[in-house]
Structure 1
């Protein structure tokens, strides 16, 4: 007891208080010094090219990574999810998804989203040119250094070719994919996106859209927003298909949350609050009570304040689902996702301490089971992703289409499949 009192008195001595205060002030100063480092570095490198209208899609990808993988990956991911659900506000889209049973059947939803996230993250974060540094491309027709972005686009093209999809529905999906993260950052981010960051999202997605053969692309983000505002006034209406697809999506997202003390219901309510009233109404989802809205605002405020003033920034990019910076020879091997899902699609079978952790996650209900062959623990190849019935179809066509849209061959080692 006396020893504890002595320690307390020692701590309260002016010198001790001064040391603690200096440490706290120094740490907070370091946070502010480093918080904007990535932002200033990226803008110093690309702002002039952006102002001159010369920003390339590859450079726009690097700008986009600033908010998505360094500064605000969680907030951007919330926007990605909300944007994906916003797509389903259009009955022609949701009815197609219900008819294919990919999102209309809860049993297929987990793999559908696992595949979709991998394909999208691959063409967003791997170089669209096929080269990690396009300025080093000296030969006239060299093989791509990194063909993954264009293989993923080609695979999406193949999967889409199996269905009849209206061009306006493609444009609406493009709009939601761009605007979801932008709106999320504006609402919940510790800073706003700069004009260059906003337009970089459009530059990247517009280039992807061209490679997908989408027609009548607006010339700018503002033009796309104007088109979407007019389109949604005419086409967004409540429908049962909207509800089915969205409900299955939410159920898949919260399946690992325990029901004890109403925790899962709370998380479902938070999810619905994040959608906003316009989307919620189109999905025929119930309005949430005021205290859930207040809870969401409080949590996001605490998160934003902590990140802005109290936490050091990331020193390495946090990619959502894929390993981006890997050796070229690894492209021929099956890849594993970095994302954690209730059904552990494409996660490697573990050993040792990691296996203990995986089994603990199962016991706690965070995952359905440990990684296994049932969920393709051997990994994935981009040209095989998609519904089970298409897994072995179109692979050679995908490679040819990838070579066409990237304008150069796929390296020979990629064709050697492991």
Structure 2
């Protein structure tokens, strides 16, 4: 029997259903790459002073940083894993609408947060993935977030991946910068990231975080020391070596996420949907 490797799988047709294509990307084909990209998305918001101020004011990230970190992951993965019409997904979208109701910010601010979830993971794949993305996959991901944004009541969402990338870059050129709140949020949540780093490397967590940032100004805005160039080259080389090695391995057959079954520090025995989100059903952000 022929081994189903990344090379043989790559040639197989994926169909044209946007949701199915993006679900496959996240849960199977690019598990580690998407995970890294979502990490970048989570911290990117701290680099926008106005957003950091809103997040800091709620106290959620400073009082329960581990839970907030995993809740963010769970909400988006529930929707990806189940599809928009599933009851669990509708509950998560209702939660998103509820917690953002009355939150200060412009429509552009909210679209930016959505675009970090689309653009940054796909850019990570383009740099360090085991293969390049197809145009069909990029559009499928774009369509997914356009639909999510629509269901959240947002307007002005980019219709193509190229437009999404331009939106994100132009927004950051105008709005990114260091702030007291951004640095405070980073300090409060760095432990959540460190818990996922091998124990022997945890003392280097701030450097690892800085190395992962795709733009030097992001590290500065977060209050991190920009990673020295002498470390950037070997860091990129390690990730590209991993990508080359991954091309020879079988694709995962177990999904990266199973609803309700995520066993992590915040939810060691799994979770139920009523545990997800800020304290109190009506709490904001």
Same fold (TM over 0.5): yes
Provide Cα deviations, 1:256-303, integer angstroms capped at 9, x if missing partner. Answer: 65776xx32224312210013131122221022344324422321231
Measured in 1, the distance between the counterparts of 2:80 and 2:251 equals 22
User: With CA pairs under 8 Å and 6+ residues apart, which has the higher RCO, 1 or 2?
Assistant: 2
Query: What is the SS of the residue equivalent to 1:197?
Result: helix
Larger C-alpha radius of gyration, 1 or 2? Answer: 1
CA RMSD of aligned residues (A): 2.4
Unaligned ranges ≥5, structure 2: none
Query: What is the SS of the residue equivalent to 2:90?
Result: helix
Query: What is the SS of the residue equivalent to 1:313?
Result: coil
Q: For the Cα contact (< 8 Å) 1:171–1:214, is it kept in 2?
A: yes
Choose the corresponding residue for 1:68, options 23, 26, 34.
26
Aligned equivalent of 2:212 = 274
Aligned equivalent of 1:41 = 12
Q: For the Cα contact (< 8 Å) 2:206–2:224, is it kept in 1?
A: no
Q: For the Cα contact (< 8 Å) 1:269–1:292, is it kept in 2?
A: no
1:23-42 → structure 2 map (5 Å cutoff): 30=2, 34-42=5-13
Q: For the Cα contact (< 8 Å) 2:183–2:222, is it kept in 1?
A: yes
Provide Cα deviations, 1:186-216, integer angstroms capped at 9, x if missing partner. Answer: 1111101100111111100110100100122
Which region of structure 1 is more displaced relative to structure 2, 156-165 or 197-206?
156-165
1:127 maps to 2:67 = no
Aligned equivalent of 1:86 = 44
Q: For the Cα contact (< 8 Å) 1:336–1:380, is it kept in 2?
A: no
Aligned equivalent of 2:237 = 298
Measured in 2, the distance between the counterparts of 1:295 and 1:243 equals 27
Unaligned ranges ≥5, structure 1: 1-25, 47-58, 131-145, 324-334, 349-376, 395-418
Provide Cα deviations, 1:119-167, integer angstroms capped at 9, x if missing partner. Answer: 1111122111x2xxxxxxxxxxxxxxx3111111011111111523321
TM-score (norm 2): 0.89
Measured in 1, the distance between the counterparts of 2:83 and 2:25 equals 17
1:78-117 → structure 2 map (5 Å cutoff): 78-103=36-61, 105=62, 107-117=63-73
Provide Cα deviations, 1:49-103, integer angstroms capped at 9, x if missing partner. Answer: xxxxxxxxxx312111333222221111101111221222211101101111122
